[in-house]
Homo-oligomer: A and B are copies of this chain.
Amino acid sequence: MHTHRNTLECLELVPLFASLPLEQRQAIADLIVQQPYSKGSTIYLAGDEVSRFLIVEHGQIKITQSSAAGNEQIVRVLNAGEFDGEANLFGQTERDTSATVLTDALVCQINRADFQRLLHQIPEVAVSLLNQMSQKIAQLEKQVTLTNTVDVKGRLAQYLVETSAALHQESFSLPLLKKDIATYLGTTAETVSRTFKELVHEQLITNKGRQVTILDADGLALLI
């Protein structure tokens, strides 16, 4: 038995399917399994054989990858409406990343075979997915360039501006722990702590605990 109304809601907030006519969305909704995850739980680990496509209905999920030395690196953070697992719809069945739940989350999942059928039956889904994936590629390329050419202060500035934009407010609560911000930026918690202090001292932001306010977005942009 599917909880039909709920899975439809999930589809509606996802850009990937939002443009489809209702009839097609309903057909897709029947393929979806909803699953809640609580904060701190693991959705999958690197090496797992998981061939499901997943969409975040609400909550936040971090996707991490570990180096041979065992260092954890955050590859990206999924927010509501974002998806993961497209690589596992094709050849690759084994995950090379892990997914951990940052805040209580609701996740919609479609299994590999169903999704494959969907791609062939509804070309618009494939085109829409291509569109989303091309954006993801562009964003990853920017991230590569950023970490290779900009110092930690600039990367933190970039992260704060970006986060502020995503939340549509210049005063906000950090969605990640500072130690997670550190691995996302390719640095350490100590350096992040010191860099926050610098930015505060230069009156570009205020920061008390997890609360951040952007005072001078232009000044931050100059650091990037």
Q: Which residues in A have some Cβ–Cβ distance to B below 8 Å?
A: 65-69, 71, 73, 75-76, 86-87, 89-92, 96-97, 116, 119-120, 123, 126-127, 129-131, 133-138, 140-150, 183, 185-186, 224
Contact of A148 among B73, B86, B134 (CB under 8 A): B73
By secondary structure, the A interface counts as helix
Q: Given A140-B140, A143-B144, A186-B147, are A123 and B119 neighbors across the interface (CB < 8 Å)?
A: yes
Provide 21 A-B residue pairs closer than 8 Å at the C-beta atoms, listed in order of the A residue. Answer: A65-B141, A65-B142, A65-B145, A67-B145, A69-B149, A69-B150, A71-B149, A87-B138, A89-B130, A90-B131, A90-B134, A91-B131, A92-B134, A92-B138, A96-B141, A116-B127, A119-B130, A133-B134, A140-B144, A144-B144, A148-B183
Identical subunits present: 2
Q: CB distance A126 to B130 under 8 Å?
A: yes
Q: CB distance B147 to A148 under 8 Å?
A: yes
- Smallest CB gap from A222: residue in B: B68
**Shortest CB–CB separation between residue A51 and chain B, in angstroms?**
13
Q: CB distance B119 to A127 under 8 Å?
A: yes
